[in-house]
Structure 1
Amino acid sequence: MTAIAIHPEVLRDVVAAALGDKARSVSLALGEVTVEVSAAQYVEVMQILREAPDCQFELLMDLCGVDYSTYAEIGREGPRFAVVSHLLSISRNQRVRVRVFCADDDFPCVASVSSIWSGANWFEREAFDLYGIIFDGHDDLRRILTDYGFIGHPFRKDFPLSGHVEMRYDAEQQRVVYQPVTIEPREITPRIIREDNYGGLH
């Protein structure tokens, strides 16, 4: 029998009580609970969220990196990189989001949670590959989506759209070679529709 989900306001209070002062904030927006935690408390908080009787978030649904570098344009300042996780409690039918910021923009690093949820392994490798975030304690932190010779981290906001290098097969050398990008960068501006009632939307 599936457990009945509790109201988000109740879940926020349950999570806040379980974490106490270990969380920087426990907030509610758009019906979802978000926990923000410091890098120093990250692993301890994740362990509590998994094991506390009223939490029991036994499943790590997702873990990803975020680059907030362009948020300064809208007035937000602070650390550049964060790791965001989505946890699910199957037994209690509830979800929570956890966000932890990396303390150092030049060397973004947080602890690995792969010892708590083995499914974090590939998620953390992906965040390392695409954002360059280091997960301290990860057993096998290496690229997972890009090539072994890839330079940089393609989901960072300052990574060029065309990349740094390209590869091709060289018939004379009979092997794949890497060379500087030869594609000319171009600006693509999307068409903007400014109708008051476009598509029936108000």
Structure 2
Amino acid sequence: MSAVAIRPEKLQDTVCAALGARVRQSTRVLGEVSVLLAAADYLDAMRVLRDAEACRFEQLIDLCGVDYSTYADAVHEGPRYCVVVHLLSVSLNQRLRVKVFCPDDDLPLLASVSGLWNSANWYEREAFDLFGIVFDGHDDLRRILTDYGFVGHPMRKDFPLSGHVEMRYDAELRRVVYEPVSIEPRENTPRIVREESYAGLRRGAPL
């Protein structure tokens, strides 16, 4: 029989009590609890969240990077790169979001939690590949989605939409070659769908 889900406000109090001064900020929005940690406390705090009797987050179900250099059309003050982790406690039927910012924009670096949860392995490789976030202690940190010779990190906000290089198979050389991008930059204009003609229906016509 599954455990009854704990109320969000109770979960927030429980997590804050378990982590103590490590919690920089705690929020509760739409029934979801989030905590913000400092990079220096990240690994230790995540171990507590896994092992503390009142937390017992046995599963890491998602980890991703975020580039806050431009976010929601607003100016972000503070570190640029953030890692967001979603944890699940099957035994206690509760979920938690953890956020931690990388202190150095030039070399975004965090401790790896792949030693705490095996599932973090590929997620951290993805964040490294797409955002350039380095996870200290990861035993196999290499690209996972882009090619081995790929230059840059394509999910960074300043990475060009067309990329820097393109690849193709050269039949004469019998190998893949990289060349400068030959596609002209273009701007896509979204098509406007007017209410009165949406899906071929006239305004006020019966469905």
Please classify the TM superposition score into its range, dividing by the shorter chain length: over 0.9
Q: Tell me the equivalent position of 1:26.
A: 26
Partner of 2:162: 162
Q: Secondary structure at the match of 1:126?
A: helix
Q: Residue type of the partner of 1:30?
A: L
Partner of 2:132: 132
Determine the C-alpha separation between the residues in 1 that align with 2:165 and 2:194: 38
Percent identity over paired residues = 68
CA distance in 1, matches of 2:119, 2:138: 12
Q: For 1:69, what is the secondary structure of its paired residue? A: coil
Cα separation, 2, equivalents of 1:75 and 1:124: 27
- Residue aligned with 1:5, SS: coil
**Structure 2 unpaired stretches of 5+:** 200-207
Aligned residues: 198
Hey, what's the Cα distance between the residues in 2 that align with 1:13 and 1:62? Answer: 23
* 1:151-182 deviation line (CA, Å, top 9, x unaligned): 00011111111110001122222221110000
Question: Relative to 1, partners in 2 of residues 1:159 and 1:75: Cα closer, same or farther, differing over 3 Å?
Answer: closer
Name the counterpart of 1:96. 96
Deviates more, 1:63-72 or 1:108-117: 63-72
C-alpha deviation, 1:149, in angstroms = 0.4
Is structure 2 residue 146 aligned with structure 1 residue 146?
A: yes
Letter in 2 for 1:104: D
For residues 118-170 of structure 1, what are the alpha-carbon distances to aligned partners after superposition, in whole Å with 9 as ceiling and x for unaligned? 11110000000000000001001000111000000011111111110001122
Residue of structure 2 equivalent to 1:46? 46
What residue identity is the alignment partner of 2:40? Answer: A
> Unpaired segments of 5 or more residues in structure 1?
none
TM-score scaled by structure 2? 0.91
Q: TM-score, normalised by structure 1?
A: 0.93
Give 1:192 shift. Answer: 4.4
Letter of the aligned partner of 1:175 in structure 2? Answer: R
Letter in 1 for 2:154: P
The 4+ residue runs of structure 1 with deviation greater than 6 A are none
How far apart, in 2, do the equivalents of 1:195 and 1:42 lie?
A: 49
**Superposed displacement of residue 193, structure 1:** 4.7
- Shift in alpha-carbon separation, 1:136–1:107, aligned structure 2, 3 A: same
